[in-house]
Amino acid sequence: MSSSGAHPTPFYIKDYSAGAIIFIATLIIFWLSPVRVLTDSHYSMLVSENLLKYHTFEMDHYRLFHQEQTSDGRPVNVFDYHLETVNGHTFYFLPTGTSVLSVPFVAIMNALGISAANPDGTYSPRVELIMQARIAAILMALLAATFFFTGRLMLPLMWSLLIAMGGAMGTQVWSTASRVMWNDTWAILLLGIALFILLAHETDRRKLNPVLLATILSWTYFVRPTNAVPIAAITIYLFIYHRKLFVPFLITGALWLSCFVLYSWHYFHNLLPSYYHAGRLKYNQFWTALPGNLVSPSRGLFVFVPVLFFVLYLLLRYRRELKFRSLVITALVACALHVIVSSGFYPWHGGGCFGPRYTTGIVPWLVLLSILGVEAMLDWREKNEKSISLFKWRAQLAIGAALLIVSVFINASGALLWDTWRWNGWPVRVDDNPRRVLDWRYPQFLAGLIHPTLPVDFPVVEGETRIDFRNKSADRFLWYGWSHEEDGYRWSDGREAALLFGLNKISDLTLRIRTGAFLGKGKLMQQKVQLFLNGQDVGTLALRDEAANEYILALPENLLKQRNALILKLPDAESLDRLALGADQRQLGVRVEWIQIEPSTNAQ
């Protein structure tokens, strides 16, 4: 335990220099990583703007609901789960803590002319995304630096650097929290600072300020209610081990909670906003969700952050050398309870996201356990330096390094490869078929590196067969690289799109395709389409017209098989978002109305 009269030990210039380097390096990486999509975080920066401009949480000044007409011509608002209407006023349904804490950043952006509201009061998802991406990158770079300074409370410089970079790049920090302003983005930064305060007190480096700690933890709850778990764990920890600090800590937390209740009563006439109600936890799929959140191929924590196996090994192997075991127990209990609580969410798999989004909130705890485990390992080595086996020592470090490299690779795929995001929607939406997250044949982190699983049976074309891309019936012919059907066409999505078809009789065929190009309102000159049949080049189209036209290609008998794959390579595909033309982030190449496959004699 800490000695209450200890004098704070300062960090040195080299520590601050290293912390600055980590901040800058991770900021650049997070800033430049391209994959970021607004889902739950829609409107959160607009709420910040509303607070700045109108000083209220009521969003009535904006035109947010999309309206459609009923059969009798009456306008009705289309449901948007981000919003709710209470007492005739429009509110942001998700926690507003993120919006409140982001106000200073949003104020700076507004001063620079960047606003999530259009001049007519409508919402601009594209600008919202820009604002969120910048703020999220800054906050997670700060978290990486916090990890480093937490490590330096106990570890040498190089080990602290390694853990800080591993915690930032080999976890959901990179693949999820740095992408946009998920509720966990602010939450894990605040929790990381809180754990730094706790460890600094235990190591006699800084005296614990209970008022500051309670304030930080209160705001973790305001940004995400599941942070009631770490608040409870730390409260019990202080009560047992630091009782002199407990009363001011408890009073401060109670005051903050009172303010939150007053806010909720003022706006919603409830003690807590609806998002915070425990009834939102269902637990109707708990025994699927619990192992799914830990070891499933597309949502499992230990699959996406396999270096955790090494952390657990360190805690068990060097348990006798562990310092601050009370913190170790608190961290393990907090992590276990978080996973149990998260397994009650609906949908249990997190919907459209990358990997184990629901366990993002425990990353600071995992970094703390890494620091304590590595310190125990180094302490053991110092005590047993004469009898240690150099081979075994290097072998365990090599295994740990390999697991960390794999962790970084996996989380890099979520931040860098758009195909990992497209995985959520194709070949079928994960919300429509949640069992996809349990399928090892096509795990999310390998999307873009491998193709979706081939179907057992290819749909057979006989005679003259038209595949109508405007209907869902086309889905059985489509392998990967396609968006869902729209009114009159279907877009390709990505730099490749694939079509599958089977044949009972092999002979020369003709392919007719009615398609138009995505030219980005004149920003692109053409869409080049290279077609490959079973890996062999069968032609190239240079599309320079957005309007649909019919094109004809020969499919020679010598390249055809009973099971055929036609690949369209689209090197010029681009998104509306990257061209600053809209919020759509699909990589659009061609919009196809239909493809017809027929015997070649019909074309003569």
pLDDT at 279: 80
Is residue 139 located within the same domain as residue 266?
yes
Query: How many structural domains comprise the chain?
Result: 2
Is residue 417 located within the same domain as residue 472?
no
Closest CA relative to residue 305, chosen from 254, 214, 231, 369: 369
Q: Which residues fall within 8 angstroms of residue 565, CB to CB, at 6 or more apart? A: 479, 498, 499, 500, 533, 534, 535
- Chain-centroid distance, C-alpha 113: 28
Q: How far apart are CA 255 and CA 185, in angstroms?
A: 24
Can you give the residue range of the structural domain that contains 233?
13-37+129-421
574: in domain: yes
Which of 295-299, 431-435, 509-513, 559-563 is predicted least confidently?
431-435
117: in domain: no
Q: How far apart are CA 252 and CA 256, in angstroms?
A: 6
pLDDT at 85: 93
The amino acid present at 44, given as its one-letter code, is S
| pLDDT range class, residue 602, cuts 50, 70, 90 | very low
598: in domain: yes
| pLDDT range class, residue 68, cuts 50, 70, 90 | low
Is residue 248 located within the same domain as residue 191?
yes
Residues 465, 598 contacting (CB under 8 angstroms) = yes
Tokens of 278: 């425990």
**Residue where one domain finishes, among candidates 402, 421, 440:** 421
Extract the runs of DSSP E, i.e. beta strands, from 405-558.
465-468, 490-493, 496-502, 509-517, 527-533, 536-543, 549-555
pLDDT > 90? residue 603: no
pLDDT at 75: 60
pLDDT digits (tens, 9 = 90+) for 161-216: 999 999 999 999 999 999 999 999 999 999 999 999 999 999 999 999 999 999 99
pLDDT at 76: 61
pLDDT digits (tens, 9 = 90+) for 454-473: 988 999 999 899 999 999 89
377: in domain: yes
pLDDT digits (tens, 9 = 90+) for 110-147: 999 999 999 999 999 999 999 999 999 999 999 999 99
**Residue where one domain finishes, among candidates 362, 388, 421:** 421
Mean per-residue pLDDT, 561-578:
95
The pTM (predicted TM-score) of the whole model is 0.93
Average pLDDT for the chain: 93
Tokens of 280: 């939102």
Is residue 148 located within the same domain as residue 262?
yes
Sign of CA dihedral 53, 55, 61, 62: positive
CATH for 517: 2.60.120.260
**Residue where one domain finishes, among candidates 361, 390, 421:** 421
Is residue 205 located within the same domain as residue 305?
yes
pLDDT digits (tens, 9 = 90+) for 332-351: 999 999 999 999 998 999 99
Cis peptide before 347 (omega within 30 of 0): yes
Is residue 155 located within the same domain as residue 26?
yes
pLDDT digits (tens, 9 = 90+) for 478-526: 999 999 888 889 999 999 999 999 999 999 999 999 999 999 999 999 9
If one compares 385 and 361, the residue with the highest pLDDT of the two is: 361
- Classify 553 as helix, strand or coil: strand
Residues 94, 183 contacting (CB under 8 angstroms) = yes
Is residue 348 located within the same domain as residue 485?
no
pLDDT > 70? residue 72: no
Q: How many residues does the chain have?
A: 604
pLDDT at 100: 98
Tokens of 52: 């700045």
Buried/exposed code over 586-602 (b: 16+ C-beta within 10 A; e: otherwise)? bbbbbbbbbbbbbeeee
533: in domain: yes
> Which value, to the nearest 10 degrees, does the dihedral of the CA atoms of residues 379, 385, 390, 394 take?
10
238: in domain: yes
594: in domain: yes
383: in domain: yes
Is residue 385 located within the same domain as residue 528?
no
Q: If 0-12 CB within 10 Å is exposed, 13-18 middle and 19+ buried, where does residue 258 land?
A: exposed
